[in-house]
Amino acid sequence: MRRAAVVTVIALLAACNGAEQEPAPTTPPQTSGTTTSAPPATTTTSGETTTTPPPTTTLAPLESLAYEEVASIQFPIHMVPWGDSALVASKGGQVWIFEDGELGSAPVLDIADQVRNEGEQGFLAFAVHPGDETRVFAHYSDNEGDTVVSEFSWDGEMLVSEEILFTHDQPAGNHNGGMIQFGPDDALYLGLGDGGGSNDAFGNGQNTETLLGGIVRIDVDGGGDARLWQYGLRNPWRFWVEGESVFIADVGQSAYEEIDVAALDEGRNYGWPITEGLHCFSPASGCETDGLTLPVVEVEHGDAGTCSITGGVVYRGAAIPEIDGHFFYSDYCGGYLRSFLYDGGEVAEETDWTEQVGVPGSVASFGVDSAGEMYVLTTDRILKVIPVRAG
């Protein structure tokens, strides 16, 4: 199917912490490795191996990675493959086609008049049905600030005929989550935060009677049934489904950011607000962590300007086979680029690429095109990650 326009998602600080977050640093972060520490008690961090050996290649040796600017727009927030092209969306509620390395001249969807684009709210993410690319799903904040997930149809020129599948009240304007992505079962998975405020103000983190504070499974082909699938998350702004596993970048409060990797099974508890990162959230009182799935990577605030973690994609493109299977992530304040390989239930090959690529600004999201190549989305640019090779 020919794609004639590009989707540009403009995202504000949707991934950021709540009002308790410290302001962004005014100096570029220093290149450094990820800080990790041992869990406070017996924990579960299992997820299926998601890596494969890199393919044989005749490419010249990889010297470094670099950023190549492909578009300059206001706050792009999400980019997903679409047929032989891709869609890009803006936090303000517009979507464009990205084809042959360029954005289309006009949006193929514009719902700015029904999106509250304030703070962490706005048009937050979208996904294409794995069995029918004419069906595109969007997650946004409506004019009342509540969560909406709806479906649009491609008529050959535009995305039209919105059908609302899911809504949920939001008690505050922060911690709305953001990501939607299809899983291996063709269900749509939605990340929702704990409802906002600080210190899990609404008590949703460990409350399995609400859909807030977790990953919600929506059966889009079975009437839109929605159920809490995994819980104990503070603000899963971005996650990435890879095979039967999920990589979740969960935004922390005042001390630690985290990345969880686990099987995408039902009932898993990631610990918030019992834990923040690998630590008890209220250390003076201690905590019981048996049965919790704790993060595989923790980043402490103060590490290279970290304040609000931004996930993240597993690279599966052909241009850089040396990083095949690596999960990449960044931070809204720090703006660095880091990665690791998750293999056999263990984190390996942790790498900080920031010295090579530089700090492009506030990183709000990542994207992937139809060839599996990776993009970093800042508040005003779309940057392609490209190899620099010898010779």
Residue 72 exposed, middle or buried by CB count within 10 Å (0-12, 13-18, 19+): exposed
Average pLDDT of the residues of the chain: 89
Q: Which residue has the higher pLDDT, 23 or 386?
A: 386
Output phi, psi for 354, to 5 deg. -60, -40
CA max distance for the chain: 60
Own/partner long-range contacts of 161-169 (Cβ < 8 Å, ≥24 apart): 162/111, 165/137, 165/218, 165/220, 165/224, 166/190, 166/216, 166/218, 166/224, 166/226, 167/142, 168/192, 168/211, 168/212
Query: What's the pTM value of the predicted model, to 2 decimals?
Result: 0.87
Q: State pLDDT tens for residues 246-301.
A: 999 999 999 999 999 999 999 999 999 999 999 999 987 889 999 999 999 999 99
The pLDDT of residue 17 is: 45
pLDDT at 42: 39
Asked if residue 288 lies in contact with residue 206, where contact means CB atoms within 8 angstroms, the answer is no
In a domain, 170, yes or no: yes
pLDDT at position 368: 98
Residue 234 lies in a domain: yes
What secondary structure does DSSP assign to 26-45, as a single string?
SSPPPP-PPP----SS--B-
What is the span of the domain harbouring residue 132? 62-389
Q: Which residues of 56-71 are buried (b: 16+ CB within 10 A; e: fewer)?
A: eeeeeeeeebebeebb
Q: pLDDT grade, residue 47 (50/70/90)?
A: low
DSSP letter string over 263-326? E--TT-B--TTTEETTEESSTTT----TT-B--SEEEETTSTT-SSEEEEEE---SS-GGGTTE
Q: Sorting pLDDT into bands at 50, 70 and 90, what band is 1?
A: very low
Residue 103 is assigned to a structural domain of this protein: yes
- Least confident among 51-65, 115-129, 188-202: 51-65
Distance CA 16, CA 47 (A): 26
pLDDT at 191 over 80: yes
Calculate the CA 354 to chain-centre distance.
19
Residue 144, in any domain of the structure: yes
Range in 24-33, 272-281, 310-319 the model is least confident about? 24-33
pLDDT tops 60 at residue 233: yes
pLDDT in the model for residue 333: 97
Domain assignment present for 376: yes
Distance CA 61, CA 386 (A): 13
Phi-psi region of 81 (alpha: psi -120 to 50; beta: other; left: phi over 0): beta
Give the CA distances from residue 154 to residues 109, 161, 214, 287, 350, in Å, rounded to whole numbers and listed in that order.
10, 9, 30, 50, 41
**Residue among 304, 294, 317, 298 nearest 366 (CA):** 317
Q: Is residue 26 part of a domain?
A: no
What is the tally of structural domains in the chain?
1
Buried b / exposed e across 291-305, counting CB within 10 Å, b at 16+?
Answer: ebbbbbbbbbbebbb
pLDDT at 285: 80
Comparing C-alpha atoms, which of 248, 282, 211, 255 is closest to residue 45?
A: 248
- Asked if the structure places residue 41 within a domain, the reply is no
Q: Which residue has the higher pLDDT, 199 or 9?
A: 199
- pLDDT value of residue 391: 84
Element (H, E) at 139: strand 135-141
List residues bridging with 65 in a β-sheet: 387
Section 77-96 average pLDDT: 97
The label of the residue with tokens 């095109």 reads 369
Lookup: tokens for 103: 């954005």
Higher pLDDT, 372 or 49: 372
**CATH number of the domain enclosing 91:** 2.120.10.30
Asked if residue 137 belongs to a domain, the reply is: yes
